[in-house]
Amino acid sequence: MSTVLDWRFAARLAAGVVGAGLLVLALLALTSDNVPASVDGLLTGAVSSDGRMAQWLSYSSYLMFVGASVCLVFRVGMFSIGAEGQVFVAALAAGGVALALGPSGFALPLAVLAAVAGGAAWALLPGLMKAYLNADEIVTTLMLNFVATFAFAFVIKEALLPDGAGFPVSDYFDQGTWLPSWGTIPSSLVFAILSCVGVSLLLNRSRLGFRLRMVGDSRPFARANGYPVRRLICVAFVVSGAVAGLTGAAIAFGGTHRLIVGMGAGIGFEGILVALLAVNRPGLVPLTALAYGYLRTGGEIIQITGNVPRDVVVVLQGVLIIGLAALLRRRDARSRTPAVAAPATEQPGTAQGDVMEVTR
Amino acid sequence: MYLASVLELATPLVLAALGCLLTVRAGVDNIGIEGMMLGGAFAGAAVSTTVFGPWGGLAVAAAAGLALALVLAWSHLSLGADFVLAGIAVNLLAAGGTVTLLFAINKSKGQGADDLASDPLPTVNLSFLDDVPVLNALADQSPITWATILLAPVFVYLYFHSKPGIWIRAVGGNAPAVVEAGISPTRVKWLAMSLSGVFAGIAGAQLSLATTHTFVRDMTQGRGFIALAAVYLGLRHPVGTIIAATAFGACQALSTLLQVRTTIPTDPLAAFPYVVTVIALGVAGLRSLRRRSLAAA
Amino acid sequence: MTRPDDMRAQAPVVLELRDVDKHFGPVHANRSVSLSLRRGSVHAILGENGAGKSTLMNILFGVLTPDSGEIRIHGEPRTFAAPKDAIAAGIGMVFQHFGLVPELSALDNISLGAEQTSWGVVDRDVARAKVEDLCRELQVEIPLERRVSALTVSQQQRVEILKALYRGAQILILDEPTALLAPQEREGLFDAVKRLQRTGVSVLFITHKLDEVELLADDVTVIRHGAVVAEHRVGTVTQAELVADMVGSSTVALSRTERVPLGVAMAVRDLSAVHPTSSSLRGVSLELRSGEITGVVGIDGHGHQLLCEVLAGVRPPAGGELSLFGARQRRWGRARAMASDVAFVPEDRLSAGVAKHLSIAENLVANRLGDPRFTRFRFMRRQAVRRHARELIEQFDVRCRDELQPVGSLSGGNVQKVVLARELSTSPRVVVVCEPTRGLDVAAIASVHSRLAAAADAGAAVVLQSSDLDEVLAVVNRIVVFREGEVVADVPNGDDVDAKVLGALMLGARLAEAA
């Protein structure tokens, strides 16, 4: 029985992939003068030169941090979409520290610490509101994303803008804080993979992670086993915020080397996609981040070379999210495998189930 | 003309927020409203320069918003995707799709630019009001603004006194009760989401066919989320929602004014709606907490 | 001249169930249930919690579809795919937890889905006139414009009844209608039902309260374990006979053995606690002795379930003292209780008893994360966890693929084995067990009982809360009866105690009268 279901799942997945591919092809046909070249650019662009490969790998590394962060909260049953804002706050904190310390051996470690603290703090607020006030985390995190975005822009424009800058940026950080690369491999990739492994170990191997997963599965159960449920919810938010904070540091010190208004915008939502592709398993996030980052980089490249908007990939992203969310929910509903899909907030069509008082 | 600009900028927020209110009351936080607005803005601009003209653009804008809303409803209600994820997906589809189509259109015209000029809707010109204080704000508003002002009371009335209005509120309040009354909550949600799409599409048209005369990529700039915030700040009540959305519009107008006249930074003002909403959610949480502890004692 | 009673006895049958059968997986919820309701009569359906009453009502209202069997309305077979079909057939349902929208006014709730409109606007005057007529007929008063959330519980119930009548219901199903009502409110409800009856409305009245059957019903059908066990005309049957029907002659194997209790393990003095849907505990003093199984019983919501939650530490006491082996506990919570070796088998097995998407192995260590056997440096020792699981699976005879199988995919009996394995294998000193056999088959029930007996024999103080009196009588050494949040009897379980006695005590009789 389960093999039949898996087969069906695979067939749906294949159909989805083919469908998404056809859609992208259609969009390319609409915009591109040379469709085969655009397809080629999309599919091989990311490895067509060392520079592009480095771009792919570093972008993927950012996605990994966010993906791991999103996996963590989702697995605890919290629908936080606040990674975006946490990244901004973290980048700002890290950048502020780096700029303040200037050339110093301590600058990078302290700045990374600041990023972690910033991301964690920005996540703690909705965590507390969820745990103690039962405030809908979807709305609070969404709102806080914007607060972070504007705070980021405000601080840069008001406090960090160097004289004569044409657009809102900060000074470059001291070169000592720039993350090194080895050939095409950025060091942020190593840290990102380590973060995914770390989050995976935390969730699957540690005692804390064990408790968090129990809370995610059933809060009454966690309570019946004496777990401090509210505190654990806050911990989940804080840890995921800290990991998201690392993204901010990685972008600032591995990518832009200064703070730019709009840097990393959208990464929080792409992280959700990456986590979803990895069925909320942080161990799989490096793979899905590399795969998605590959396409994303291909999109950047055809924009430059083929005058095709990279936004074709954004459409693909939307289609993938719908398809995956639906597939996972269905698989979960039909077979009784673990709910690795997104945590249930409100399921459609449960009204009937609520009326039933199914006794024995 | 600060007041005029408040009306102009509040219009899309009020429209989108009322659309959002319907879905929120039916139990769905409509994050996709942002994408629906964007889709409407683009479709309106694109069609306005064709033979269908700006009025055709307005109709197609509403249809585009509706189409994206149907994608959301289908993903959530038929495929079972979570509405947050489906909403994010709709936003991505709209953001990516509008830019892709923008490229396609501009390319056929031999342009490479990032924007698309529109043929704007004619304004309702009431020049006799020009010299009347306060009311002169109404002298040169878009038909969408006028429709919003005139139809908002109708909306509020129907929200409380029409079958769909009552059913939508019932679904969010207690879905099993609705089933017991022989109504399908799923169908009511389809309706609420569709209406929100139409509202959002028209709100988008206000941006590209009235406030500005062009479509620019990502031109909604979070207005959909502000609309969602207005619903929560307005305590999920239509009048509260309209007031909150108008207040947020006043914020934006003030922000524009400051940008033009002064060097005072506007980012805190832009963040204001979101901060207020987070605080409002916290206060609401505290209140229900206190009520519960009183009930237990 | 015929008495009205006799007239009703000859009135035409408006609703008939024939051999209705319903399974939920392995559970046989309704076994070939047949009953007929006559026009203008009140027909009580009496049964313990979990006897299958709610399933039957949901089938009648189109919420569930039966596996087999037939529903006939006025003699014609009907199938209900959804509640709206049942409504169309003239059936109205008043659920135990009211199906009203708190944000809407009473009037809007009553007319929901059946609104009259003119020009797209709901014509509330039409509805109001109709509802006011109904109110007059029933002699009830409801502030129709007020939001339901601002109404009292009994007013909400009236609204539910009006909602059904507004749709032209001729057959009204009341599911445990007095569960949330104060005594005076109950009188009001019964008056209203009697007035309805005179207008020709027929009422199916679901209850587990014997006195209500006598007060209100013309006929009574008793259901046990999903099957009809008896039908009576009210007035021709005594309460004692009804109790005997309800709880049955023992179908549960007797596993009770004489035990000599050791010292007092846990004691509460003057304990009080509150709960949203249960009687508050008031001044409860009780001693639980090691090596003995204590049964706590009562009518649903009379505080015995709440006591178990307090003892286990999942609900805080509001006042009084709780001591464990003589030591007074000041900050009693689940974590403290677990540290003091208090095991807990919650009533809601699938949500509070297990994490159903996680593996058996993980579920089996959820309560012993402090044990160095399973954690080292704050990390789980996975091999040890799995080995532990394999041992317990073997020992408790859990039927599964392997220890990594998600608990939610096991059968009910095996889920409960997992719960018991987890809770009892820590050699607890106190074991609090709620409804441990609800929904289980005979073999699984026997296995649960032997586990509880073994725990008591090993010296634990076991507290068993069950609505199945047969079970309590078969297993426990001592029985504590609760009524309205207070202990009304605390008796050793001997040959002089039977279901009738317990039933009478639960209903408020004094011990001397009951025995």
What phi, psi does B134 have (nearest 5°)? 65, -60
Q: What is the pLDDT of residues B44-72, one digit of tens each?
A: 999 999 999 999 999 999 999 999 999 99
Contact partners, residue C246, CB within 8 Å, separation at least 6: C46, C47, C48, C51, C208, C210, C222, C224, C499, C503
B125: pLDDT strictly greater than 50: yes
pLDDT at A130 over 80: yes
d(CA C426, CA C343): 8
Cα of A272 to nearest chain B Cα, Å: 9
Q: What is the pLDDT of residues A263-274, one digit of tens each?
A: 888 899 889 989
Q: Which amino acid is it at A208?
A: L
Nearest-CB residue to A317 (from B92, B112, B277): B92
> How much of chain C exceeds pLDDT 70, in percent?
92
CB < 8 Å to C121, chain B: 157-158, 161-162
User: What is the per-residue pLDDT for C513?
Assistant: 62
Average pLDDT, chain B: 89
8 Å CB contact between C51 and C251: no
- Give CA separation, A329 vs A71, A305, C91, in Å: 16, 39, 35
Q: Which two tokens stand for residue B3?
A: 């007041």
What pLDDT, in 10s, does the model give residues C66-84?
Answer: 998 999 998 889 888 888 8
SS3 A290: helix
C144-174: per-residue pLDDT in tens? 999 988 888 788 888 988 998 898 889 999 9
H and E: helices and strands count for chain C: 18, 24
CA distance C176 to C181: 10
Q: What is the mean pLDDT of residues C125-146?
A: 88
Q: Which residue of A201, A211, A225 to mutate against C (max C Cβ within 10 Å)?
A: A225
In three-state secondary structure terms, C186 is helix
pLDDT, tens digit, for every residue of C18-44?
A: 999 988 766 678 888 898 899 989 999
| pTM for this predicted structure | 0.83
pLDDT at C310: 93
Chain-centre distance for alpha carbon C52: 10
- Contacts by residues C191-196 (CB-CB < 8 Å, ≥ 24 positions apart): C191/C139, C192/C138, C192/C139, C192/C140, C192/C158, C192/C161, C193/C42, C195/C137, C195/C138, C195/C139, C196/C138, C196/C161, C196/C165, C196/C172
Quickly state the pLDDT bin for A344 (edges 50, 70, 90). very low
Q: Burial level of C453, CB count in 10 A (0-12/13-18/19+)? A: middle
Contact residues on chain C for A214, CB-CB shorter than 8 A: 355, 358, 362, 366
Q: Is the pLDDT of residue C96 over 80?
A: no
Token output for C186: 């109950």
Map C319-369 to HEC letters: EEEEEECCEECCCCCHHHHHHCCEEEECCCHHHHHCCCCCEHHHHHCCCCC
pLDDT digits (tens, 9 = 90+) for C363-384: 999 988 888 888 888 888 888 9
From chain C, the residues in CB contact with B156 under 8 A are none
Distance between CA atoms of A99 and C85, rounded to whole angstroms?
71
The chain-wide mean pLDDT, for chain C, equals 85
The predicted complex's ipTM stands at 0.85
For A197-224, letters b (16+ CB in 10 Å) and e give: ebbbebbbebbbbbbbbbbbbbbbbbbb
Using only the alpha carbons of chain B, give its radius of gyration: 20
Q: Tell me the per-residue pLDDT of A221-266, one tens digit each, with 9 for 90 and over.
A: 999 999 999 999 999 999 999 999 999 999 999 888 888 888 888 8
b/e map C352-368, b = 16+ CB within 10 Å:
bbbbbbbbbbbbbbbbb
Whether A214 sits inside 8 A of C50 (CB atoms) is no
Selected residue of C351, C358, C414, C419 to mutate for chain A interface (largest A Cβ count, 10 A) = C358
Q: Under 8 Å CB-to-CB from A54, ≥6 apart: which residues?
A: A181, A184, A185, A186
Sign of CA dihedral B162, B166, B171, B177: negative
Question: Which of B281, B286, B287 would you mutate first to test chain A, the one with the most A CBs within 10 A?
Answer: B281
Given a contact cutoff of 8 angstroms between Cβ atoms, the answer to whether C220 and C237 are in contact is yes
Q: How far apart are CA C452 and CA A255, in angstroms?
A: 63
Predicted confidence (pLDDT) per residue in B173-192, tens digit? 888 788 878 888 999 999 99
